[in-house]
Amino acid sequence: MEADFIKMETGYVPVEAKITKITQPTEYEKVFTLDFPHKEHLKFLPCQFVMVSIFGFGEAPISICSSPDDEEFQLCVRKVGSLTNKMHSLKVGDFIGIRGPYGNGFPVEVLEGKDLLFTAGGLGLAPLRSLIRYVLQNREKFGDFTLLYGARSPHDRLFADEISEWETSEFVDFHETVDIGEENWMGNVGLITSLFPMIGIDPEKTIGVIVGPPIMYQFVVREMLKKEITDKNIFMSLERRMRCGLGKCGHCQMNGVYVCQEGPVFNYVDVQAIQEAI
């Protein structure tokens, strides 16, 4: 796929996007579907993000959770602070500011012809969903597809409807777990690493992808290496504080690397050279 996302010459000026649909998968997360004035605003790569802006409440980087091949443009937002709390109070028909897309996005061409092992922890499923949907929409381009997802509790599971589809789908080998179970939960209980013994992969052909909370990376990398996936075949998307998305404000820096410019997607070989990365 070509990286034909638009260059925003406008600096900090956001585009007005209209909220056309809101769903609430969990107590703290909502999924917003947005409509843009021009269709070219919808061009992006999986794992890119946008700066969401509401005047008076600031800006925050939010990953695009829909696929570039989807009709709908979606963001999944967890309420944690100023901007995200305000966003949760908005209704269908309200407008929000969007600038971007920013970041390198996922180099989807490296996945073509390969077996895939995706690992998502918590809200990491949101950015990864973009890539998951893209893979499912272009299924013939990829080999075996294994998807692992770990949520804190059954209550915290995102995109439950899609998960039900993945569970029964012949196109993806899906496994999930929760850290803490509940009475009615019939599924796995345990950390995401506990899913690794259940899966069989061909390390020669497999690309591993990891998106999740900071604590998760070291542990999942270890599991992937145990499965003999090589360093250069492991990719991950990293989160940092971001105030500009333009490689200037300095907040997203890990050592000499600006995550908003060179990331958020990194190859594990590069990550090992960045002490502050994981």
Ligand X SMILES: Cc1cc2nc3c(=O)[nH]c(=O)nc-3n(C[C@H](O)[C@H](O)[C@H](O)COP(=O)(O)OP(=O)(O)OC[C@H]3O[C@@H](n4cnc5c(N)ncnc54)[C@H](O)[C@@H]3O)c2cc1C
Shortest spacing between CB 2 and ligand X, in angstroms: 22
Partnered with residue 175 across adjacent β-strands are 148
Nearest to 278 by CA among 259, 107, 260, 261: 259
Shortest spacing between CB 32 and other proteins, in angstroms: 17
- Is position 113 an interface residue for other proteins (rule: CB under 8 A)? no
User: Which tokens hold the place of 127?
Assistant: 């950015």
As a whole number of angstroms, the distance between CA 135 and CA 144 comes to 11
- Is position 13 an interface residue for other proteins (rule: CB under 8 A)? yes
234 close to 222: Cβ distance less than 8 angstroms? no
- Is position 155 an interface residue for ligand FES (rule: CB under 6 A)? no
As a whole number of angstroms, the distance between CA 220 and CA 210 comes to 8
Identify the residue among 33, 53, 63, 146 touching ligand X (CB under 6 A). Answer: 63
Pick between residue 31 and residue 242 the one whose CB is nearest to ligand FES: 242
Pick between residue 37 and residue 81 the one whose CB is nearest to ligand X: 81
- Is position 266 an interface residue for ligand FES (rule: CB under 6 A)? no
Choose the one of ligand FES, other proteins, ligand X, none that binds residue 264, judging by a C-beta under 5 to 8 angstroms depending on kind.
ligand X
33 close to 72: Cβ distance less than 8 angstroms? yes
CB pairs under 8 A, 24+ apart, for 134-141? 134/46, 134/67, 134/68, 134/69, 134/108, 135/111, 136/169, 136/171, 136/172, 137/67, 137/69, 137/70, 138/69, 139/171, 141/111, 141/112, 141/113
Reported as type and span, the H/E element at residue 58 is strand 58-63
As a whole number of angstroms, the distance between CA 27 and CA 232 comes to 38
Nearest to 32 by CA among 17, 22, 42, 43: 22
- Is position 81 an interface residue for other proteins (rule: CB under 8 A)? yes
Identify the residue among 61, 105, 150, 212 touching ligand X (CB under 6 A). Answer: 61
Residues 229-258 that bind ligand FES (CB under 6 A): 242-245, 247-252, 258
- Is position 80 an interface residue for other proteins (rule: CB under 8 A)? yes
Pick between residue 224 and residue 238 the one whose CB is nearest to ligand FES: 238
- Is position 55 an interface residue for other proteins (rule: CB under 8 A)? yes
- Is position 218 an interface residue for other proteins (rule: CB under 8 A)? no
- Is position 87 an interface residue for ligand FES (rule: CB under 6 A)? no
- Is position 12 an interface residue for ligand FES (rule: CB under 6 A)? no
Shortest spacing between CB 139 and ligand X, in angstroms: 24
Question: Could you list the residues that contact ligand FES (CB under 6 A)?
Answer: 242-245, 247-252, 258, 260
